[in-house]
Structure 1
Amino acid sequence: MPFLLPLLLQAYDPEIEAVMNRSRKQKQEERAAAAAAPVAPAGGNAVARDDGRIPVPAKFAAPFQTCLDQAIESPDAGVAFAQKWRMEGGSFYARHCMGFAYARAERWTPAIVAFEQAAEEAERGGEMVQGARLWAQAGNAALAAGDVAKARTSFDAALARGLPDGLEKGEVHLDRARALVALGDMKAARESLDVALAQAPADPLGWLLSATLARRSGELRLAQAHIARAVQLSPDDASVALEEGNVAILTDHADVARSAWQRAVRIAPESPAGKAAADNLTRLPAGG
């Protein structure tokens, strides 16, 4: 159906929404929640867990959780708590919470600074993996601010600190790929996405972005395989349904495209993905 090709080349792509509109607060809360894992043994250092999260030492766990709770309820209160706690010896955990509080308020520039300072302080204390995680948070704040070049630099810094294999490394590679797509570096984005898929295979966003990148590169078999995995993992995501239709129409499966786009509209009619799917449906001939 060649009449649809210009539409699909110019239409909404899910990685653009992922970079600019994916829930910014949710992303930061996910990172902060990972930091607030069960505490390490009293007097011990934080140690990596199988899921990639690093426990907060007992000395800092309670005030850190209190700070996060205050930031969720009121970002200003979270900033005030973090500032006071930092002066009282809260170490990089206080700066971490400060970054989280600024992110809650969508004050991305001070959030970036707080996360960077927290990362540097963690590294000075020999906590290299904690530093890596904080560089990743700085990168996500930079993505949210629209500074994709700074985001890439922060993600590179995170990966250079030697994150252990697993979910956390995969998520950083996925975030790095989002920045690289926004920068137009598709080759490097593919390399990071391939690592993300191997390290974090349960994240549907990785398969979605991989399918989209493959479609845009003309690798339609790869796009089909990866969007099928995204659908399996996240059948009720409008962005996934939209991309399923985009891939289907390019592989001469108009019936599948129609069904996928209709599903996207049902799931989230007012979202960018739902609206793009609705527009695509108007361009299909009657009956498929």
Structure 2
Amino acid sequence: MSGLHAVPGPGGPGPWPALNALSGDLVGRTREIELLLAGLDCGAHVVLEGPPGTGKTTLLRTIAHSGKVPFVFVEGNAELTPARLTGQFDPSQVLARGYVPETFVDGPLIEALREGGLLYVEEVNRIPEETLNVLVTVMSEGELHVPRLGRVQAAPGFRLVAAMNPFDAVGTARISAAVYDRVCRIVMGYQSEDEEAAIVARRSTQVPGRWRTGVVDLVRRTREHADIRIGSSVRGAIDLVRVATSLARIRGGEPTDWRIGHDAAMVGLSGRISLHESCGRTPESVVDELYVAVFGPQPRPADPQAGDEPGGDATGGA
């Protein structure tokens, strides 16, 4: 447990990693890490709010792994009923043995309660209200009452951490005041350009540094374009670099070749952006516009090496 410390809180003591124990696993996010560790230390339940691809899941998984804390993941969607969240009796076992604790199959919520672990609910503002009410009860009382099973008390260290996309994302709903009243809220926006470039370098293939910087610039421009309602996260840059690398191998070229990079941008970004309905454009046309703005127009056949990178160098710096 090197680098860890246990601080008692309302939810019971829990081993949370020290900040320096996480520095090698995450790029940036120092402030958010500090805030989340403080919330967990004091026994609070937390909501991480921000657009997709801002590292909410990665942050929490890293903290749980570093602290050797049980981590239970729940995918939030409209199909998450209270029974799927809490668990239920096995019908075949009930017929043979009756309603006894041994015939109950724990759902993720009860699993986390019994183990004193982190229950991570992804996209909490997509789940039904009746399921949210179950979570409200657990956050308020630190326990859950299940018919025929009885009372399940939260073991020391249990915390609920939920992630949510902004309300205007498709399929989301507003979170009730009852939920916000029981959680601490941490907003996670997009990271800086340098940090996103470092993430792409860490999670994709090795490519010339200047070209990778251009890819990050391209993706960041999708968040500011007037015709785009929701832009791409850094995942788009990661996939663009990966696709370009594989496509270059297939075509016998380089990822920095204009046409290879352009086709990779279409594959990596056209499905990740959401346009305003009134703009009357296709995602492909917007991606093409942004690609040309960053990497220049397609070179003429007589000058095949020009324009592959910002600044015109096809190979770029390391």
TM over 0.5: same fold? Answer: no
Q: Normalising by the residue count of structure 2, what TM-score does the alignment of the two structures yield?
A: 0.30
Greater Rg over alpha carbons, structure: 2
Q: Normalising by the residue count of structure 1, what TM-score does the alignment of the two structures yield?
A: 0.33
Higher relative contact order, chain-length normalized (CA < 8 Å, sep 6+) = 2
Normalized per residue, which structure has more strand?
Answer: 2
